[in-house]
């Protein structure tokens, strides 16, 4: 559980560095990711995402 919390914080930090900001919507979507595999997938996708809205949508879809 603690490790997943650290992963979420790292993804948010990297997203903020990459896009200049993060949104509550992204924070909520990341909080709903319930497995280390999904967090890893989100982190990997962040490297290719072209915009914050695109990344947020990906994470929201992953959280479903």
Percentage of residues in the chain having pLDDT higher than 90: 91
End-to-end CA distance of the chain: 19
pLDDT (tens digit per residue) in 8-40: 999 999 999 999 999 999 999 999 999 999 999
pTM: 0.92
**Kind and range of the H or E run holding 62:** helix 52-63
């Amino acid at each position: 559980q603690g490790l997943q919390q650290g992963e979420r914080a790292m993804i948010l930090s990297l997203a903020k560095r990459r896009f200049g900001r993060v949104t509550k919507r992204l924070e909520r979507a990341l909080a709903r990711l319930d497995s280390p595999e999904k967090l890893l997938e989100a982190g990997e996708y962040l490297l290719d995402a072209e915009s914050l809205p695109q990344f947020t949508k990906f994470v929201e879809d992953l959280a479903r």
